[in-house]
Amino acid sequence: MPKNSNSRRNKKGSNVVTNRREDLRSVLSDDNDSAIADNMSVISLTSSAKWDNGSDDFNNPTDDINDDTNNMSYIDDFESKLIEAIDQTSGKSAKTRQLSLDSIRKALTTRFCYDFLIDRKVTIGDVLEHSVKRKGEELGSAALLSSVVLITLGSSTESDAMFVEIESHLIAAMTDASVSPVIRSKCAIALGLGHFITNNGLDSVDSVMDLFQSIFGASFFKGNGAVPTHTNEISSLHASALYSWTLLLTLYTPSAAIHMAERLAKRISELLDSPDVDLRIAAGECIAVLNEISRECDEDFEFDEMDLLCDKLRALATDSQKFRAKKDRRQQRSSFRDILKAVEERESPNMMIKFGRERLVIDSWCRKRQYDALCYVLKSGMNLHLAENDLLRDIFELGAPLSALDINSKLTKFERNMSNIASCKARTKTRGKLRDKRADVMA
């Protein structure tokens, strides 16, 4: 036997595991805000017990938790670590506070903690209010955490009051040119989801949509018809603002959407010429949502210069220019094929998301935009919240959550084996009967 063969075998096995982990991290990265793979109609997002980059201190039990005693100690340990992370948000070090906010956000995505938050709503509200007043990465972490907290609390008086306290600070940061564009993007996402979840009236929605428009409007054509050039970070900010604008557009009535389409569709179509792929896709999806809602009111609705718009969408759906990155071309073609079908052939998206024993069907552009916005914040915890969160189940019309009896009715290994043996015997008897009948016919 060659020397060190075992070490080479172990190294090869470890490389396979590493590659699988890297593939999983790439699926759950921030760049994939829709969390949906291209060209797939059936999707299953696995809620992992592990968080990004490293071990999960909150979800890392050392003992078997099958019995009630260990399960209760597991829950207590999770909550004690979560309380410790909340306490660390008042530390002196900005880096410590930011890491604590990220830890809380990850904890709330891997567990549905409504009871925990409602019992500490004042404390959580104070943490968010103090954190969004700060600058740098801490502000961005607080913005994303506020979205997860509001999603967990759902549409309620508690979430409304909490969002009112932080809304003005998020607006100030989003519109402040001295703040990093990455932080401003997170604030734009938090503002969009905050207004989508809470019930502060359409007047406040109108005002924040005007703010979003003032941001992504900087990518409209210049007065001489030239396409503006921005850094990648600024283009990402414009895309986030347009995504949030489109999310709030799904709250409007069809008659109001027609008015929006008549007023802004031509300007938004200018963003299709942007050099940034994310902004192009955001503009295309916005046009698809405008088209879908407007046709609910008027079946014969069409955009101005419809033929020119379809030609532009068709060019993007078949774009093969080599100066674009291969990944960008693939993502763009996949997205604009569906957008072109929506505008030209009135075809809705048709996707199915599997979670547990349930299925969620995405059959409209409005629902797709809502799902993508929530999935961007919850990431791998989307499945868990779809199964247990009343807000998400109400948005996607999934009904009441399944009972614990239905969830825990999974068969044991022994029961599965016995069931397979019984099925095998039944198949054998059936085949035997069919063979006897065949023998009688042949005879």
Flag whether 432 is in a domain. Answer: yes
Which residue, of 175, 200, 225, is where some domain finishes? 200
Question: Is pLDDT above 50 for 27?
Answer: no
Q: Could you tell me if 216 and 172 are in contact, meaning their C-beta atoms sit under 8 angstroms apart? A: no
Residues 430, 320 share a domain? no
Residues 235, 122 share a domain? no
Question: Is pLDDT above 60 for 426?
Answer: yes
The listed range with the strongest mean pLDDT (91-95, 142-146, 404-408) is: 142-146
User: Which pLDDT band holds residue 267 (cuts at 50, 70, 90)?
Assistant: very high
Residues 226, 114 share a domain? no
- Looking at residue 272, its pLDDT comes to 95
Residues 416, 343 share a domain? no
Strand partners, 87: none
How far the first Cα of the chain sits from its last, in Å, is 61
Q: Which residues contact 242 (CB under 8 A, 6 or more apart)?
A: 212, 216, 268, 271, 279, 282, 283, 286
- Looking at residue 83, its pLDDT comes to 94
Question: Is pLDDT above 60 for 406?
Answer: no
Residues 426, 318 share a domain? no
User: Which pLDDT band holds residue 313 (cuts at 50, 70, 90)?
Assistant: very high
Residues 103, 235 share a domain? no
Instruction: Report how far residue 347's alpha carbon sits from residue 389's, in angstroms, rounded to the nearest whole number.
Output: 30
- Looking at residue 103, its pLDDT comes to 95
Phi and psi, residue 317, nearest 5°: -75, -20
Residues 186, 247 share a domain? no
Flag whether 400 is in a domain. Answer: no
- Looking at residue 14, its pLDDT comes to 47
Q: Could you tell me if 269 and 304 are in contact, meaning their C-beta atoms sit under 8 angstroms apart? A: no
Classify residue 52 as left (phi > 0), alpha (psi -120 to 50) or beta.
Answer: beta
Question: Is pLDDT above 70 for 139?
Answer: yes
Question: Is pLDDT above 90 for 69?
Answer: no
Instruction: Report how far residue 50's alpha carbon sits from residue 182's, in angstroms, rounded to the nearest whole number.
Output: 25
Instruction: Report how far residue 279's alpha carbon sits from residue 303's, in angstroms, rounded to the nearest whole number.
Output: 20
Residues 324, 191 share a domain? no
Instruction: Report how far residue 391's alpha carbon sits from residue 394's, in angstroms, rounded to the nearest whole number.
Output: 5
Q: Coil, strand, or helix at residue 231?
A: coil
User: Which pLDDT band holds residue 112 (cuts at 50, 70, 90)?
Assistant: very high
Range from 91-95, 242-246, 361-365, 402-406 carrying the lowest mean pLDDT: 402-406
Which residue, of 148, 176, 200, is where some domain finishes? 200
Flag whether 20 is in a domain. Answer: no
Question: Is pLDDT above 70 for 294?
Answer: yes
What percentage of the chain exceeds 90 in pLDDT? 58
Flag whether 384 is in a domain. Answer: no
Instruction: Report how far residue 130's alpha carbon sits from residue 122's, in angstroms, rounded to the nearest whole number.
Output: 12
Question: Is pLDDT above 50 for 361?
Answer: yes
Flag whether 21 is in a domain. Answer: no
Which pLDDT tens digit goes with each residue over 348-360?
898 999 998 899 9
Flag whether 4 is in a domain. Answer: no
Flag whether 86 is in a domain. Answer: yes
Q: Could you tell me if 197 and 155 are in contact, meaning their C-beta atoms sit under 8 angstroms apart? A: yes
Instruction: Report how far residue 375's alpha carbon sits from residue 383's, in angstroms, rounded to the nearest whole number.
Output: 9
What are 312's two structure tokens?
A: 């532009």
- Average pLDDT, integer, range 267-285: 95
Instruction: Report how far residue 377's alpha carbon sits from residue 370's, in angstroms, rounded to the nearest whole number.
Output: 11
Residues 74, 190 share a domain? yes
Which residue, of 200, 233, 259, is where some domain finishes? 200
Residues 217, 323 share a domain? yes
Give the residue numbers spanning the domain of 424.
410-438
- Looking at residue 437, its pLDDT comes to 53
Residues 216, 141 share a domain? no
Residues 215, 120 share a domain? no
Instruction: Match 């557009």 to its residue by tokens.
Output: 249
Structural domain count of the chain: 3
Q: Could you tell me if 153 and 128 are in contact, meaning their C-beta atoms sit under 8 angstroms apart? A: no
What are 273's two structure tokens?
A: 């010429």
Phi and psi, residue 128, nearest 5°: -65, -45
Flag whether 401 is in a domain. Answer: no
- Looking at residue 8, its pLDDT comes to 41
